[in-house]
């Protein structure tokens, strides 16, 4: 259902139509201008969809409210193994809610939450949870914001003489 710009109202209608669905395995609903309300509606029926193992809700306008609703569903979900929620507007609050939900979730193995607005501290906490849980084989957090503290954490173990300034590139044009 991707690339249709359906928005929250139609996403909510789709969620209601899928409630108690026993056969759908993958729901790809990216690039649809879905915000917190639509994500909340999908989260609200997530646990009644007994066969759903993959949810791709990337490239929308989901913020902290939608992420928190999805996190609440993840805490008790027993079927979802892959969640793509990249390229949204999720901030630290929503990402932290998802991180806490991962501690309770027993089935999710892949989470892609890249390209949102998540601080390096939250990204580090998510990665720490991944290290503790054998179920989580892949978590992608790249493309989120890194402030000066985050940059310091990334480079703290890099020897000072290993950081070089790259030479200015040369461009040659052939006409």
Query: 54 φ, ψ to 5°?
Result: -130, 125
Look up tokens 């461009």; give the residue.
Answer: 171
Query: pLDDT for 68-95, tens place per residue?
Result: 999 999 999 999 999 999 999 999 999 9
- Rounded distance between C-alpha atoms, residue 118 and residue 14, angstroms: 29
User: CA-to-CA distance for 35 and 92, rounded, in angstroms?
Assistant: 17
State residue 25's pLDDT score.
Answer: 97
Q: Which pTM value belongs to this model? A: 0.81
Predicted confidence at residue 152, as pLDDT, reads: 53
- Contacts for 65 with CB less than 8 Å, ≥ 6 apart: 36, 39, 40, 94
pLDDT of res. 156: 52
pLDDT at residue number 145: 76
Identify the pLDDT of residue 147: 53
Q: What angle do CA 89, 93, 99 make, to 5 degrees?
A: 100
What pLDDT sits at residue 134? Answer: 67
Question: What pLDDT score was predicted for residue 161?
Answer: 44
| DSSP string for 56-85 | E--SS---HHHHHHHHHHHHH-SS--EEE-
Residues of the chain with pLDDT under 70: 134, 146-175
Q: What is the pLDDT of residue 3?
A: 93
SS3 for 153? helix
């Amino acid at each position: 259902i991707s690339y249709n710009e359906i928005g929250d109202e139609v996403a909510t209608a789709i969620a209601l139509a899928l409630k108690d669905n026993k056969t759908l395995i993958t729901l790809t609903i990216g690039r649809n201008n879905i915000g917190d309300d639509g994500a909340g509606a999908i989260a609200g029926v997530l646990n009644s969809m007994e066969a759903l193992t993959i949810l791709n809700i990337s490239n929308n306008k989901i913020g902290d409210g939608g992420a928190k609703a999805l996190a609440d569903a993840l805490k008790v979900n027993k079927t979802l193994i892959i969640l793509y929620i990249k390229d949204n507007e999720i901030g630290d609050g929503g990402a932290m809610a998802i991180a806490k939900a991962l501690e309770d979730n027993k089935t999710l193995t892949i989470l892609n939450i890249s390209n949102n607005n998540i601080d390096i501290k939250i990204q580090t906490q998510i990665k720490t949870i991944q290290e503790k849980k054998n179920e989580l084989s892949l978590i992608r957090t790249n493309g989120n914001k890194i402030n000066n503290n985050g940059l310091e954490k990334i480079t703290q173990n890099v020897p000072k003489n290993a950081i070089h300034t790259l030479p200015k590139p040369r461009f040659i044009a052939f006409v």
